[in-house]
Amino acid sequence: MSDSLGNAPLMKLATGEGSRDIQAEVGDQVEGYRLVRLIGSGAPALPDVVARYVDIWNDGVSDAPVISEYTGPVLVIRGGADGFVTKQLIDTIVPRFPGAHEKAIDRGGHWLHVEQPDTVAEALLEFSDETTNTTTASGWRQGFAEQSQATFADEFADEVVLDATTLTNPITGKQQVAQVLATASSIYESLKFTAEAHDASTTYLQWKATAFGGTQIRGITILDRDASGKIVTAAIHHRPLGAVLRFATEIRNRLAGVIPADHFQQETP
């Protein structure tokens, strides 16, 4: 195992040795009882596991991609007084994550979450709020709120594909998909997005709506985006079936002569 950046504090923490040495090396911000807890948390780690972690820390992973495949939000927090994880080191990590945000906490040492838990929590909540307010689904939500073809179109890649339980065949192309969605949004009497989740470039939206004089409609929408953030596929899963068929008929009628009727589900006479 190499003896370069960082292996001494890691090994000492993992083996429960040298608490004073650790405190001197990575900062004096950790209160005594918390330092003891940190040391104790590392004691169960097996020596060969620790050695492997240290080698990866020092030497990296040979086949690691230059840019991470993860495209979601990233916040990197470091301690301004941390002599172990320095600004120079962070500058080699942040570029791997497109759009990553970096925050330095003044007078923070190496174990920020232990030294200044309230400050770290505040930073995380602030980042979460910012991410929510600039969510990848904000344009989609806005399109429904405005019932706007232009707003929808701004969110789409040129060859976006729309699939839905109201459709027998997908609809392709920015303008056609935007027109269908703008028309669909005008049918709803109310629409509320009730939950949202993200997994890399995919967004999941749960929603509930009313139409046709109070008919209840519920659903899940799945949005996939490309590297530039444009939606490339959208899948809308409505329920229950009766409302789905009625909704499909209404869209088909409103878009007669614009979108071929055979794209839409048909109600049984």
Average pLDDT value for residue range 241-254: 94
* Measured distance CA(208)–CA(188) in Å, rounded: 10
* Residues shown for the chain: 269
**Which residue do the tokens 């918390």 mark?**
34
Residues 7 and 55 in one domain: yes
**51: domain range?**
1-64
Question: Do 155 and 237 share a structural domain?
Answer: yes
Residue 10: predicted pLDDT: 47
User: Are residues 163 and 208 both part of a single domain?
Assistant: yes
Per residue in 206-228, pLDDT (tens digit) is: 999 999 999 999 999 999 998 88
The domain that holds 235 is classified in CATH as 3.10.450.50
Edge-to-edge strand list for the sheet holding 156-164? 171-172, 156-164, 231-239, 215-225, 202-211, 190-199
Sign of the CA dihedral running 244, 246, 248, 251: negative
CA–CA separation, 52 and 68 (whole Å): 22
pTM value?
Answer: 0.53
Statement to judge: residues 1 and 59 lie in one domain: yes
Q: How many domains does the chain have?
A: 3
**66: DSSP letter:** S
Same domain, 161 and 225: yes
What pLDDT digit, counting tens, does each position of 63-98 carry?
888 888 777 788 999 998 888 888 998 898 888 887
Which of 64, 91, 110 is where one domain is finished? 64
* 60 and 73 both lie in a single domain: no
Domain-located, residue 2: yes
Q: What is the pLDDT of residue 5?
A: 40
**Over the chain, what is the mean pLDDT?**
83
**Degrees to nearest 5, angle at CA 267 with 261 and 269:** 115
pLDDT for the residue 25: 53
Tens digits of residue pLDDT in 108-127: 888 888 888 899 999 998 88
Where does the pLDDT of residue 29 fall: very low under 50, low under 70, confident under 90, or very high at 90 and above?
Answer: low
What average pLDDT does range 196-200 have in this prediction?
A: 83
